[in-house]
Amino acid sequence: MASSTVLAQDNGDKESSDKSDSGSTNLVEMQKDSSNWLMWSGQYNGQRYSELDQITAENAGDLAPAWTFSTGVLRGHEGGPLVKGDTLYIHTPFPNKVFAIDLESHAIKWKYEPTQNPQVIPVMCCDTVNRGLAYGDGKIFLQQADTTLVALNADDGKVQWKSKNGDPSKGETATNAPLVIKDKVLTGISGGEFGVRGHLTAYNIDDGKMAWRAYSTGPDDSMMIDPENTINGITQEPVGKDTSLKSWEGDQWKIGGGTTWGWMTYDPELDLVYYGTGNPGTWNPTQRPGDNKYSMTIFARDPDTGEAKWLYQMTPHDEWDYDGVNEKILVDQEIDGEMRKLVVHFDRNGFAYTQDRTNGELLVAEKYDPAVNWATKVDMKTGRPQVVDEYSTSGKVGENVENICPAALGSKDQQPASYSPKTGLFYVPTNHVCMDYEPTKVDYTAGQPYVGATVAMYPGPNDITNPVKEPMENRMGTFIAYDATTGKIKWSVPERFSVWSGALATAGDVVFYGTLEGYLKAVDAKTGEELYSFKTPSGIIGNVNTWKYKGKQYIGVLSGIGGWAGIGMAAGLTDPNAGLGAVGGYKDLKNYTQLGGVMTVFALPDSVVEKTESDSDDEVASN
């Protein structure tokens, strides 16, 4: 039990790390213990599924807040808590504080308060969010907004090492959650709206030295692409030489975007890490002819060397800012009578992609919001979306292209989906938002915005598939259950605003998510029926996580309105076109919530837990 708080000074002193875990490779085994939550998704596979089943569809209605913790920071609270043993670790938006909290007393064991230049704030595209921490080798890893990757001793918060991953003066910042794989910690870079050239970088877990860096655009060697061995997921043939360079005009690849601010997953058996790249530099597609490879691309890489094993570009020559950074969920499911190792990705562009994760073969690509209209379908032979000319923005500088669905923030943005192996369904928090998009000419200056478009956002049409209740007018969000083997939506829960929270599925057949108004909701995994709802102090854009401590299952979520959807409130913006179009689209959000920064933890009452355990014991005995 903690008796006092230890303040971990931001002094950069290197201390000997805790080796009690016998190296980070133990994460493969440690992630199997559902009492803990050791990485952003709970497991390497990105499923955001827990084997904990104390909370069930029968008793979820009895949930209640157990305790709360104020972070002392406003603006958007994305990501979620990590739990190891008797300690919970939580982070904040800029200035990226880290707290270690004792699960017994709820006292602060230690906190880390980094010193960062506030000039980083205006360089961050869509609020000052941070998407979470990573654990490995007795360390907590934080990716600061100013691109500094920090390793903290998990026991006392002392700084083990720091590595600078970018340069904010050039528009490079960081918002992603790192991922520890064996003896390395992997991290990305933000800044696609500033002409940043994206990359994924691996650092040695012991000393923080760079192990490798793989760029998203440019020459093959800097992208760590082997033209004779890196496979094109569509053709199943080697990509060939200089495929990125050939897809850009001149040296535009140097400011080509393809940033890597999203989520990473890992398959220990195949030894491959999966991630996606963001939009190409400048939102005005007329200024960058070609496919702009390899923005908007799924990569599978060797985490030891960085070598690209296969890749697939989802939106060539992106014209709408449909970043491809959303999570890649790894599952084993049957398609056409054959068990396949799959990677499933719900892209910003409104299509859900099901691929063989061994080689990238495209198996299913379907819309997961019926409102999607910018393309009719994905051609399964070429892998290219079939663009509708009416909604193309290329060659239309100064022309306002209206009613494009989805909006730039996509049918789903960073908010990660979950998967239940019990139901075989994916549970997806989505945006139901459309836009008007006017490309404008823009010149590149290092460290200055390089957007080149004016965007207005608004609610999508009334289209909805298999709703579990009557949808409200001007709906901007839907929470869906999706079958990735068929591309079908099984049920839909309409929501007033975008569902910007990460989902959680559990063995108790309960799925959790949060709303922008601030409600933590529990629904039946099979039917979508609402089981529980509680309004937290601020809007929820954080991810719902779960753990077990002293025999009781807990649910934890951060509330704190912000992120792209809430940027108007978070940054005090009023121009409808500000926030890359989000301010006007979400103008009514202020009527439902206010700024905050609180983690709320939920659990069942002791009496319900005892009854649940007793009923479970009786069932086992009868069998």
Asked if 312 contacts 297 with a C-beta cutoff of 8 angstroms, the reply is: yes
Residue 465 CA: distances (Å) to CA of 50, 369, 385, 418: 27, 8, 22, 19
- Terminal C-alpha separation, the chain: 41
Please enumerate in sequence order all residues whose Cβ is within 8 A of that of 235, keeping only pairs 6 or more positions apart, or say none: none
Cα-based torsion angle of the residue sequence 265, 74, 477, 455 in order, rounded to the nearest 10 degrees: -90
Burial of 248 (0-12, 13-18, 19+ CB in 10 A): buried
Residue 261 CA: distances (Å) to CA of 130, 132, 405: 10, 12, 23
Other CB atoms within 10 A of residue 397 CB: 16
Q: Which residue out of 267, 291, 321, 524 is catalytically annotated?
A: 321
Amino acid sitting at position 419: Y
Asked if 296 contacts 384 with a C-beta cutoff of 8 angstroms, the reply is: no
Helix (H, G, I), strand (E, B) or coil at 433: strand
H helix or E strand, kind and range, residue 568:
helix 567-571
Helix (H, G, I), strand (E, B) or coil at 309: strand
Please enumerate in sequence order all residues whose Cβ is within 8 A of that of 343, keeping only pairs 6 or more positions apart, or say none: 265, 274, 298, 300, 328, 329, 330, 354, 355, 356, 357
207 assigned to active site: no
CA dist 439 and 288 (Å) reads 12
Binding residues for pyrroloquinoline quinone: 78, 131, 175, 259
Binding residues: 78, 131, 175, 193, 259, 279, 321
Give the single-character DSSP code of 190.
B
Q: Which residues are catalytic?
A: 321
